[in-house]
Amino acid sequence: MNYPNGKRSTVSKPDKTPKKPDFSNRGMTLEEDINVTNEYYLASNTAVIHKKPTPVQIVRVDYPKRSAAVIKEGYFKQASTTDYNGIYRGNYIDFEAKETRNKTSFPLSNIHQHQIDHMKAVHEHGGICFMIIRFTPHQETFFLSAVKLFYWWDEQYKGGRKSIPYSYIQRNGKLIPFTYQARVDYVKVLDKLFF
């Protein structure tokens, strides 16, 4: 085929070399699924839950063009608390979401002390606080109440494990159903446990 510029089209043969897997968004699928779920909850007037923005102090910005500012340097203003918060059935909801590629346990190193302190404060003030943990090798997502998390967190400082066994989470957590509109339908678990 000839194009208007007079050059002949060349058809390239398909590349038969295997493509390397793209890990650019690794670890983001749980967050994306929860964000889609929260959008569905908001649209269906089920709950108002949002991802908390991480407070960042911008230090240096380059302006190559007026419409294309580029942040070159920034710092976290303070340690973040948990990932999500909001209201469901008149109750304050606060939770952290984590993914692990580990098959046999959830490493406590994925959580920070300031997050535990925040979750304990929310729990003490009557809020509903929990973790959503996805085991990617098993393609399973669990709801684990904050109280059950606190036990393992405190035990690690008394010579206990530095992780929560998968078998414990299977027995003591709640498997969260995956549905088309609410990908991580955690309010179904909240309904069973609290309402």
Beta bridge partners of 57: 75
Q: Is residue 86 situated within a structural domain?
A: yes
pLDDT given at position 177: 86
Percentage of residues in the chain having pLDDT higher than 70: 77
What rounded mean pLDDT belongs to the chain?
A: 85
Mean pLDDT within 12-41: 68
Q: Running DSSP on this structure, what letter comes out for residue 54? A: P
For residue 98, pLDDT beyond 90: yes
- Residue 59 domain-assigned? no
Which domain does 184 fall in, by range? 29-52+79-194
**Tokens 């302006």 label which residue?**
63
What pTM, to 2 d.p., does this model score?
A: 0.75
Q: SS3 letters for 112-131?
A: CHHHHHHHHHHHHCCCEEEE
For the annotated binding site for Mg(2+), the residues are 81, 83, 96, 115
> How many other C-beta atoms are found inside a 10 Å radius of the C-beta of residue 70?
10
Specify the CATH number for the domain of residue 33. 3.40.1350.10
Q: Helix 146-156 vs helix 113-124: angle between axes, to the nearest 10 degrees? A: 140
| Within-domain flag for 132 | yes
Binding residues, as ranges, are: 81, 83, 96, 115
Q: Residue 195: its pLDDT value, please?
A: 86
- Residue 20: the pLDDT is 46
Domain total in the chain: 1
